[in-house]
Every structure is written in C-alpha cells, then in structure tokens.
Amino acid sequence: MNLEVRNITVPFTALLWTWIVLSLFPDWWAAFGGIILIVGVMLTQKSSVNAWIQVIKRHHDWRSETDMRVLVTGGAQGIGRAVCEKLEQLGDEVISGDLQEQDGGIHLDVTSEDSWEDALDSVGPLDGLVNCAGIRTRNLIVDTTYEEFQKHLDVNIAGTWLGIRGMFRRRSSKAESSDISYASIVNIASVNAVIAVPAQAHYVASKGAIVGLTKAAAIEGAALGVRVNAIAPGAIRTPMTEERLVDPQQVAWLEGRIPAGRVGEPEEIASVASFLLSDGARYVTGTTVFADGGWTANGV
Ligand code: NAP
C-alpha cells in the first residue's frame, strides 16, 4: 500500500508543526518565523517528505508495500482461519478454500485435481498460496489401516503438491507473456517432520514429506518467480488439538518439552505465514521455519 502526501496532508502537518513551535517559543514573532520556514520547507520538499514517510513505514511494517491476493486452504478454522484473519488485517485479498461451508469462502477438496482446477480458475491470478489444510489421527502402526495411512498422504502431502503444481502451471503461462511478478507459497508442515511421536507414524511421514517437497519446489519455483517455504508449528491450540489440550497429563507432557513453557496460538503461526508471503522475505525460499516455542531446539 503506497502512502502518498495528498493535498490535505501538507496543510495539516503544517498546522501540527505550528502548534508545536508555538508551545515551544513564547516569543510569537520567533514562532511565526519558524512556521514560515517549516511550511516553506515542507511545500518545496514534498517528495523528500514522502520518502521519509516511506522509510518510517517500512521500518515499522515490512508488509506496508504490498497488498496480496492469497488463497488459504483449510481456512475455515484453526491455523488457516488465523492466517486469513491476519492477512485481511494487513489489507490483503484473501480467499479461504475448505471442505467446510464458509461465508465468503470457496469449496475446495485439496485431494481432488478437479477441485483444485476449479478453485484456481475461479479465483484467478494469485500472489500467494498457503497450503494449510491437514488431518491427523492417532493410532499405532499396528492399528492403522492402509486407508487411514493413504488418506494422510492424500490430504497432507498430495493436497499440498496439487496446490503447488496448480500455481506453477499458471505462473508458467504468465511467464510466456513476460509479465512476471513475485509470488509466494507457504506450506504447513509440523515439528513432527523432525520429531517423531508414537501413534502418529502416518502423520509424521506426511509432514516430513512436506519439508522435502518445499525444498524441491523452491528450486523449480525460482525460475517462475515463486518462492516456496514451509512453517513447522509446534503444539498449537486449534480444533485439531482440542481433545489433547483438555487433558492435563497431555498438556504437562507438552509443556515439559517446550522451552517456552506453553502451547502456541494460531495467530503465532499466522504472523510467520504473513512474513514468508511478504516482500520482506524476498530472499527466503526453500526453507522451513520452526515456530514451536523451542521444542525442536530442545530435541526431546
Ligand atoms: P484444523 O483445526 O483441523 O483445521 C484444518 C482444516 O482443514 C479444517 O477446516 C478441515 O476441514 C480442513 N480440511 C481437511 N481436509 C481437507 C481437504 N481435503 N480439503 C480442504 N480442506 C480440508 O487443523 P489445524 O490445527 O488448524 O491445522 C492446520 C494445519 O497445521 C494442518 O496441516 C496441521 O497438520 C498443521 N499443524 C497443526 C498443529 C497443531 O498443533 N494444531 C501443529 C503442527 C502442524 P474439516 O474440519 O471438514 O476436516
């Protein structure tokens, strides 16, 4: 979002300065001279005032320059919902795609090629994609059915790959018109990509694959002007973890492993996603950011 000094801003700023100078100098004549000087400088140096405002804005908010058009999968609840809300607050145009019915969102089943094609065609050109839709069940390997294992691969990894492919294909056709601008994809992995826990081998396998896919896609995406990164959240309070986080024993187990001493909130993942999408992360691609209160650093 560009901030411009419009006609009204200069007189307003001049009035503000007038008030400041008058309160500093009891001598009205000296103050009057000061005001004339300041207003004169502001009127003649309008472009430099603009430049300073831009510098200050950039310093305080690395998202100030761009309003993006972003599709968030799994945006009906949990981390995906928080990502949508964060991006909307920043002025982005956000489309949430989910299995669930949602106001203003679109239907998207990330496991279906047709559903992805319909969704990407209907939303048009995108600057960002957040692959957040995911599932997780708890079962030991001996008790896990093939269908349950396969479903985790379908939703968590194939669903992410289909989104990446869909966006890349649309960028390829854009590249032919030599009108390429930078886009960004953020995949949601998990600490379980590197920290295995019992009764979730199917989930652990699918999330480990996201880290590898993210690297491979980043290499190919560079030629298309698309950065690809992942976030590996720790334990985050969402409907997915609701059941676990009402059990004091489970909470104590988690808190004993997390140096921050608490589980995370969805907004704490959303802010990382918004950074990775932004121009502030323009030199960041192929990496996984662990947002886990230090759990993986602890290594237990
Ligand atoms: P959540 O609350 O269960 O939300 C997931 C959303 O994805 C739901 O709205 C779900 O819809 C949707 N979804 C599931 N299958 C889909 C499909 N085939 N197509 C489209 N949407 C689908 O989960 P969350 O905790 O926010 O997790 C979001 C992502 O973060 C997941 O990838 C998860 O693995 C990852 N993650 C979560 C945590 C955590 O502690 N919460 C930690 C690490 C990583 P339905 O409800 O209809 O299934």
Instruction: Write out residues with Cβ below 6 Å of ligand 1.
Output: 73-74, 76-80, 98-100, 108-111, 132-136, 155, 159, 188, 190, 233, 235-236, 238-241
Alpha-carbon span 155 to 136, nearest angstrom: 10
Tens digit of pLDDT for each residue in 114-158?
Answer: 999 999 999 999 999 999 999 999 999 999 999 999 999 999 999
235 in the same domain as 260: yes
| Cα of 255 from ligand 1 centre, angstroms | 22
SS3 call for 71: strand
Q: Is the pLDDT of residue 94 over 90?
A: yes
- Report pLDDT for 55: 46
| Cα of 151 from ligand 1 centre, angstroms | 13
Counting atoms of ligand 1 from 1, which one is nearest the CA of 100? 47
Q: Are strands 183-188 and 288-291 parallel, antiparallel or unpaired?
A: unpaired
Top pLDDT among 2 and 274 is at 274
Sign of the C-alpha dihedral computed for residues 184, 182, 119 and 75 taken in this order: positive
104 in the same domain as 235: yes
| Cα of 76 from ligand 1 centre, angstroms | 9
Q: Spell out where the chain has E strands.
A: 69-73, 93-98, 106-107, 128-131, 183-188, 226-233, 288-291
| Cα of 123 from ligand 1 centre, angstroms | 21
| Residue 2 domain flag | no
277 in the same domain as 171: yes
280 in the same domain as 182: yes
Q: Which of 240, 242, 245, 268 to mutate to test the pocket of ligand 1 (most atoms within 8 A of CB)?
A: 240
Least confident of 29-38, 92-101, 219-228: 29-38
Domain boundary among 41, 60, 79: 60
The count of structural domains within the chain is 2
| Residue 227 domain flag | yes
Counting atoms of ligand 1 from 1, which one is nearest the CA of 131? 32
Residue closest via CA to ligand 1's atom 6 equals 74
Q: Across all residues in the chain, what is the average pLDDT? A: 87
212 in the same domain as 126: yes
SS3 call for 98: strand
What is the domain-level CATH number for residue 220? 3.40.50.720
Q: What percent of the chain has pLDDT over 70?
A: 76
Tens digit of pLDDT for each residue in 163-208?
Answer: 999 999 998 765 555 455 689 999 999 999 999 999 999 999 999 9
Q: Is the pLDDT of residue 106 over 70?
A: yes
| Residue 1 domain flag | no
| Residue 121 domain flag | yes
| Residue 4 domain flag | no
Counting atoms of ligand 1 from 1, which one is nearest the CA of 269? 30
With beta carbons less than 8 A apart as the criterion, state whether 75 and 96 touch: yes
Domain boundary among 24, 40, 60: 60
Q: Is the pLDDT of residue 268 over 70?
A: yes
| Residue 283 domain flag | yes
281 in the same domain as 250: yes
Least confident of 11-20, 52-61, 125-134, 275-284: 52-61
Task: Over range 263-272, report the average pLDDT.
Answer: 98
| Cα of 158 from ligand 1 centre, angstroms | 14
109 in the same domain as 53: no
31 in the same domain as 133: no
Counting atoms of ligand 1 from 1, which one is nearest the CA of 136? 34
293 in the same domain as 201: yes
Least confident of 10-19, 177-186, 251-260: 10-19
| Residue 81 domain flag | yes
47 in the same domain as 162: no
140 in the same domain as 47: no
92 in the same domain as 36: no
Which helix (H) or strand (E) is 31 found in, with range? helix 28-44
| Residue 239 domain flag | yes
- What range defines the domain where residue 17 resides? 9-60
Going by pLDDT thresholds of 50, 70 and 90, the confidence category of residue 241 is very high
- Report pLDDT for 6: 43
Residue closest via CA to ligand 1's atom 44 equals 190
